[in-house]
Amino acid sequence: MMDKRVLVVEDDPMVAYMLEESLQRIGYVVVGIESTGPGAIQKTGDEQPDVVLMDIHLQGSMDGIAAAEKIMADFSIPIIFLTASTEEDTIQRAIRTKSQSYLVKPINMKELFANIELAIHKKRVRDQLRKSPAGDEEPAPTCACKSPMLRTYAPAGKKMVPLGWICPKCHAFLQ
């Protein structure tokens, strides 16, 4: 398994330790454990993990959903919520973050593994689409809404040709 980097954001030290041990046993690199929203945002910026496992109820005034919104906006790192909360309003708030998954504790490690792999795969595909077909490392433009745009393609015979860029957030198009 290629090094796949995971940040654990969990305010219960025992749960955090068990997650770290389990993730390392199945081959992931745990880049850190954070127990607060601001700490999670800072560590995400510093470490650039492939995925963030985020509890919703954290220490301090910022909860995991608010931290996830900031992480998605600033870094476009996939978030997987791991929480005991099944309240409708919490689930609706989590949906608005466009997170990858919402798993209810106790966590089944096979489900967690599958969700991590899917999140990382989707992010890598999205990142690859931002590159030009020639393999150039052309940076994606940023939309007026501050979201990175995705390259769009259309078929031209047996080849795909770039059409322009689209914002996944507000659907603005740029040629």
Kindly list the domain boundaries of the chain, sorted by start residue.
5-128, 136-174
pLDDT of residue 167: 77
Q: How far apart are CA 104 and CA 107, in angstroms?
A: 6
Q: How far apart are CA 79 and CA 168, in angstroms?
A: 17
pLDDT of residue 141: 75
Q: Provide the whole-model pTM.
A: 0.73
Half-sphere exposure of 5 (CA within 13 A, CB side): 11
Closest CA to 85 of 55, 116, 51, 115: 55
pLDDT of residue 171: 76
In this structure, CATH architecture of domain 5-128 = 3-Layer(aba) Sandwich (3.40)
pLDDT of residue 142: 78
Q: How far apart are CA 82 and CA 43, in angstroms?
A: 18
The rounded average pLDDT for each run of 10 residues, N- to C-terminus, in the chain (175 residues) is 88 96 94 98 96 96 96 94 92 90 92 93 78 57 77 70 76 75
Q: How far apart are CA 35 and CA 138, in angstroms?
A: 36
